[in-house]
Chains A and B, each alone.
Chain A
Amino acid sequence: MSQLIYNPFDMEVHPPRLSPDYKSTILRAPTKPLVLLKQSLAELSGPVFGDFNLGEFDHDLTKNSIKNGEPLGERIVVHGTVFNENGQPIPHTLIEIWQANSCGRYVHKVDQHDAPLDPNFLGAGRCMTDENGNYKFYTIKPGAYPWGNHYNAWRPNHIHFSLFGANITNRLVTQMYFPGDPLLQHDPIFLAVPPKGRDLLISRFDLEATEPDFALGYRFDFVLRGHNATPFEKI
């Protein structure tokens, strides 16, 4: 009898739960060892959103909140492929994104940063990967913004991503960064990722995906925890 086994989180690339330079982890990271759970049907299943009715412009943040004009800032295309660890593309999986506007201001009511809101930009979107695991968003390049972690702390430009994959062990929430951002080397959230994992969070400029006279292209691929291809014998 064989059983599907999901690879654990690869802690060579994932950040540790406690990372004191990112101060909010100090009181919020679990301190006791995690309890290893034998994966059952509960873990080997997850929500599917095939019947979720995506809006026409859900994937296009330059259009999905227009009130009286175009959003301000640099238009970009962000695209890529979602893979499992065996390199197989993951089709029809839902991706959600949210981000600051071009001035570094989030629509969220809690964000008090004194930079202008853009009436034509919400900063939220979603799409489904196609049959080959590919996705594409149109958006505005987010600005850097200050935060209270330490003196003169600024987050690098980033887009938040949320992915589901095939089951709840695949769940991933992460942030995509931009190449050459000088703030990366000062950001404790990015630097919490071990050196081996950091490049995996930086998109690359993609001239082929760049649309003439319209938008710069960036490519960002995902790799979700994937099952071990070799079934094992239950003793």
Chain B
Amino acid sequence: MSNNMYKQTPSQTVGPYFAYGLTSEQYLYDFKSLANNELVSIDDDSITIRGRVFDGEGNVIPDAMLEIWDNQNNLFGRFGTGTEKDKGFVFKTKKPQSIAGNAPCLSVILFMRGQLIHSYTRIYFSDEVTNATDEVLNQIDNDRRRTLIAQKKDNYYLFDIHMQGDSETVFFDI
């Protein structure tokens, strides 16, 4: 059990002004970025994931920050929703492999003003047959499972995130 002498440091919101510190090059500040949204060089194997983040009234959130983590390929990316025309996010990466019948997925950490603690979700892919046998997807009710699955479009995957409402994205306690 945890030692009470060392209580976890409480979380606080990332706030509205993270851009010049955490996503500086994307927002054109003169400070080298730790990470960006191109996790791989663009070639035949790379995929594009796009989406927007919506609040409880369906408004697009223009000041969220997403981090994605692919443990298979050791890839990390970060992007703020303030610079694309549609105030969305875009990542270029590669799709992980299916392992032991589980579907390929990416881990997502989501931060924004109005979130006192970050949220965790996952991105699955609509064109993967292993979604049907995936342990995590199968523990989620049918009507919410779709919120975790990026939809394949012509040349990208669409993954919208809804903080609240009927389409509220599944967020994980990890």
- Which residues does A use to contact B, with CB under 8 Å? 6-10, 12-17, 19, 22, 24-32, 34-39, 41-43, 45-47, 49, 52, 55, 64-65, 83-87, 94, 96-98, 100, 106-111, 122-126, 160, 162, 168-169, 171-175, 189-190, 192-193, 196-198, 200-201, 221-226, 228, 230
Given contacts A55-B32, A85-B2, A106-B17, contact A19 B116 (CB under 8 A): yes
| CB-based contact A13/B17 at 8 Å | no
| CB-based contact A124/B29 at 8 Å | yes
Cβ-defined partner of A173 (8 Å) among B7, B12, B76, B120 = B12
| CB-based contact A86/B9 at 8 Å | no
Q: Return the CB mask of B33-47 against A: 1 if under 8 Å, else 0.
A: 011000000000000
Cβ-defined partner of A228 (8 Å) among B1, B105, B116 = B1
| CB-based contact A42/B57 at 8 Å | no
Determine whether B97 belongs to the interface, using a CB cutoff of 8 Å to chain A: no
- Judged by DSSP, the binding face of A is loop
| Top 9 A-B pairs, shortest CB-CB distance | A98-B21, A24-B114, A28-B114, A47-B76, A34-B173, A27-B56, A108-B17, A15-B116, A124-B21
| CB-based contact B22/A87 at 8 Å | no
Q: List 29 A-B contacts (CB under 8 A).
A: A8-B173, A12-B7, A14-B11, A14-B116, A15-B10, A22-B114, A30-B164, A32-B168, A35-B173, A37-B174, A41-B71, A42-B107, A64-B31, A107-B20, A110-B17, A123-B20, A123-B21, A124-B29, A124-B31, A125-B21, A160-B12, A162-B22, A171-B118, A175-B13, A189-B13, A223-B7, A223-B9, A226-B2, A228-B1
Question: Which residues of the partner chain A approach B32 to less than 8 Å between Cβ atoms?
Answer: 55
Determine whether B133 belongs to the interface, using a CB cutoff of 8 Å to chain A: no
Determine whether B14 belongs to the interface, using a CB cutoff of 8 Å to chain A: yes
Determine whether B18 belongs to the interface, using a CB cutoff of 8 Å to chain A: yes
Cβ-defined partner of A122 (8 Å) among B30, B71, B120 = B30
Question: Which residues of the partner chain A approach B14 to less than 8 Å between Cβ atoms?
Answer: 160, 162, 173
Given contacts A9-B117, A35-B140, A123-B20, contact A193 B10 (CB under 8 A): yes
- Shortest Cβ distance from B80 into chain A, in angstroms? 11
Question: Which residues of the partner chain B approach A30 to less than 8 Å between Cβ atoms?
Answer: 119, 163-164, 168-169, 171
Bound state CA distance, A9 and B107, in angstroms? Answer: 18
Bound state CA distance, A24 and B163, in angstroms? Answer: 12
- Shortest Cβ distance from B105 into chain A, in angstroms? 7
Q: A29-B163, A111-B17 are in contact. List 4 more A-B contacts (CB 8 A).
A: A28-B113, A34-B172, A35-B171, A168-B120
Question: Which residues of the partner chain A approach B101 to less than 8 Å between Cβ atoms?
Answer: none
Question: Which residues of the partner chain A approach B63 to less than 8 Å between Cβ atoms?
Answer: 110
Q: Return the CB mask of B41-63 against A: 1 if under 8 Å, else 0.
A: 00000000000000111010101
Determine whether B111 belongs to the interface, using a CB cutoff of 8 Å to chain A: yes
Given contacts A27-B164, A126-B34, A169-B174, contact A87 B20 (CB under 8 A): no
Question: Which residues of the partner chain A approach B142 to less than 8 Å between Cβ atoms?
Answer: none
Given contacts A16-B116, A197-B7, contact A43 B174 (CB under 8 A): yes
- Shortest Cβ distance from A142 into chain B, in angstroms? 11
Determine whether B98 belongs to the interface, using a CB cutoff of 8 Å to chain A: no
Question: Which residues of the partner chain A approach B170 to less than 8 Å between Cβ atoms?
Answer: 32, 35
Bound state CA distance, A200 and B169, in angstroms? Answer: 31
Determine whether B155 belongs to the interface, using a CB cutoff of 8 Å to chain A: no
